[in-house]
Amino acid sequence: MKYKLMSYGCKVNTYDSGLLEKRLNGEGFSRDEESPDVVVMNTCAVTNEATKESIRHIRKVKKQHPGVKVVMTGCAAQVDSKMLLESDADLIVANSHKTEIQTHIKSLLSGESVERLYRSNIFKKEDLEPGGGIESEHTRSFVKIQDGCNSFCTFCVIPFARGKSRSLSINAIVERMNDLSLQGVNEMVLTGVHIGDYMDESTGKKLVLEDLVEQVLLKTTVPRIRLTSLEPIELSARLLDLYKNNPRLCPHFHMSIQSATTKTLSAMKRKYTSDDVRKSLSDIKANLPNAFVGMDVIVGFPGETEDDFMDTYKTLESLPWSQIHVFPYSPRPGIYANRLEGQLHRSEIMTRAKKLRSLSHGRYKKIMKSQVGQIKELLLLKKRSVVQSGLSSDYWNISFDEPLNKNSGEIVKVKVTSWEQGGIESEPGFLSGEII
């Protein structure tokens, strides 16, 4: 039995797709991109458009592979199952039943009578599966430390897709990372839906994210470690001290701020204020002046006036960061923000998004140009079987003029030699380098 796996959305889904691959291979399946018997789509549901994109792909897949069975799983299967039932999907396995997916796929392919939808209350899900996928196919490895979310922000459906926050024990995470090190993995990304919620109570004590990072640094030897998104109030002095004193922690932060205006943050039900945003970004600069800082910002949230937007714009303009990932607010079924007053026209939302993206591109290009002449350690990456670029610890992608006769996953020293203007607005530029 042959399968093709398609993954959408966040880094947590990338990790989960690795687990799906591991389960299917364990049941005697083999991965085949050209002539699969079944295509498994691990879907995203962060926006309504994300779900629609998956549905559109069903038709493309069935046209490309006549007779193939399509199985939908992931977040859209959990929260948008009614939409998927109206599609051409043959089987829908929600996150609540994802650990059983290999059994249901085998039954489907053998012609047994199966239900079309497997779904239950995600908030009753207590388990969190350790491990990972076929790591030899990935240069960097994502290590999921936590899943679910307890925040219930008004713009977000993810708690209903992933359930309540639950974490793996520190011992399980350390063991997994050491296994990956034995496989030759030189960079690992600690990921989750909301890693600031991380808590290990397996020993009777309440151990938090900082405790995990301390133990990972003490009990593993992986050269490079990254963390995924943090909220401003989760960037503690203790965590910053760990970054300052441990070069194995990559000087790269992804801050989930969403807005820099307290009024809008309150409407989103975020747990911090504009002052917290200012403090977190300023603290990073003070402690790690050369760190790469990316941010998520939503524009056009219901009730956001022009003055509110400009307050966020001017606040961010005055603060240190490297890049903004701008998300135009997009209503979708199942979120509380649909009920809020002050819903904005799409044209106004996109106008604000364009303005904030312009600010981001200008800042990003300026910092990118300043990298020329610097010496960096690069993790070599493979793209279409060729090694011709790499990722620096401070999150710059640097290309080489010619393919290298080296293996992906190696860490090499390079000098950044040039900066080149991007061809389109969404690509501010490119860095090139040479091995030294």
Write the pLDDT tens digit of every residue in 126-144.
888 776 655 555 678 999 9
320 with 230, same domain: the answer is: yes
Contact predicate 55/80, CB 8 Å: no
- Indicate if 107 and 145 belong to the same structural domain: no
Looking at the structure, do residues 309 and 327 belong to the same domain, yes or no? Answer: yes
Q: Is 386 domain-assigned?
A: yes
Other C-beta atoms within 10 Å of 25: how many? 15
Q: How many domains does the chain have?
A: 3
Q: Identify which of 354, 427, 360, 429 has the alpha carbon closest to the alpha carbon of residue 398.
A: 429
Report the SS3 class of residue 253: strand
Domain range for 421: 375-435
For residue 127, tell me if it sits in a domain.
no
Asked if 284 and 152 sit in the same domain, the reply is yes
- On whether both 211 and 106 belong to a single domain, the answer is no
Q: Are 381 and 353 members of one domain?
A: no
Shared domain check, 280 and 157: yes
| Torsion angle of the four alpha carbons 420, 425, 428, 433, in this order, in degrees rounded to the nearest 10 | -40
CA distance 104 to 118: 9
47 and 184 together in one domain: no
CATH assignment at residue 206: 3.80.30.20
- Written as six digits, the tokens of 76 are 């859209």
Cα–Cα nearest to 91, from 70, 112, 76: 70
Using DSSP, state whether 294 is helix, strand or coil: strand
pLDDT in tens, 252-301: 999 999 999 999 999 999 999 999 999 999 999 999 999 999 999 999 99
Q: Of 79, 216, 206, which Cα lies nearest the Cα of 145?
A: 216
Judge whether residue 350 has pLDDT over 80: yes
Given strand 141-147, what is the order of strands in its sheet?
166-167, 141-147, 187-192, 224-227
Q: What residues pair up with 144 in beta bridges, in sequence order?
A: 191
Last residue of a domain, one of 354, 369, 384: 369
State pLDDT tens for residues 25-80. 999 999 999 999 999 999 999 999 999 999 999 999 999 999 999 999 999 999 99
Predicted structure pTM score:
0.92
| Crossing angle of helices 274-287 and 306-317, rounded to 10° | 10
Chain centroid to Cα 434, Å, comes to 29
